[in-house]
Structure 1
């Protein structure tokens, strides 16, 4: 388990990867919690002119995954995602801010279950609700 807010560490690690390319910035990545977001740009859009669903999944899944790392039990070496579910309730336009908050619901030795919400911070409306299950990995 990592101590304290690890947001700067994860922002540095994500450079050159999908979350970095999407411009996701983190306010908090800590044991049991993560918060961050991005400003919607062309790179977040689908060809039809609407916000791409994968942009939201990248945000909420990264929040849960990063905080999962910060919340690993002693002796664990990592995790893998075994299930995700997203319900979309709204969207955002170019220039609007999308934020996310992720919370640990279950932190067991073998699994973690996370909930996250993506919110259009410009309108204050929830855009998506997300739940995932992480399987905790241990060295062999």
Structure 2
């Protein structure tokens, strides 16, 4: 089992986002703890599809970013990085304004893979709008 690495925290991830996709989308990491990460994203016009509903890709970006950052914070000792090898999302609802929140939780923390689930909800009501699962392959330095 991979323990939470002490060299990562919410502030470090927020600072790291900068001009990368998470920063551009306005994703904010709220809390990082053992086997979990919480985040949010204010809904802006750039997150919407032309039909004026939240674009599914925006929801997936929040969930995938949350699970990815959580993976980095739980890498086994000596691991170099990770890559997503599978993801799935079920979209149950939408929002047009406000913000969405995400809670990512570890389901499996192995030396070769990690599996993370994420629930995305309407921040104002707490209503679940998406369920997400991904599998991360742990990358090791080449010897």
What range describes the TM-score normalised by the shorter chain of this pair? over 0.9
2:47 corresponds to 1:44: yes
- The answer to whether the 8 A contact 2:52-2:96 is kept is no
Distance 1:87 1:41 in 2: 22
Distance 1:124 1:101 in 2: 12
Which residue in 2 is equivalent to 1:19?
Answer: 22
Per-residue deviation at 1:123? 2.1
Per-residue deviation at 1:43? 1.3
Distance 2:8 2:15 in 1: 14
2:5 corresponds to 1:2: yes
Q: What is the TM-score normalised by the length of structure 2?
A: 0.92
Which residue in 1 is equivalent to 2:90?
Answer: 87
Counterpart of 1:126 (choices 111, 125, 128) is 128
Unpaired runs of at least 5, structure 1: none
Which residue in 1 is equivalent to 2:101?
Answer: 99
CA distances 1:73-120 after superposition (whole Å, capped 9, x unpaired):
0110000100000000000112x1200000010001100000000000
CA RMSD of aligned residues (A): 1.3
Structure 1 runs (4+) greater than 4 angstroms displaced: none
Which residue in 2 is equivalent to 1:68?
Answer: 71
Distance 1:63 1:75, change over 3 A: same
Distance 1:32 1:41 in 2: 29
SS of residue paired to 1:73: coil
Q: What is the TM-score normalised by the length of structure 1?
A: 0.94
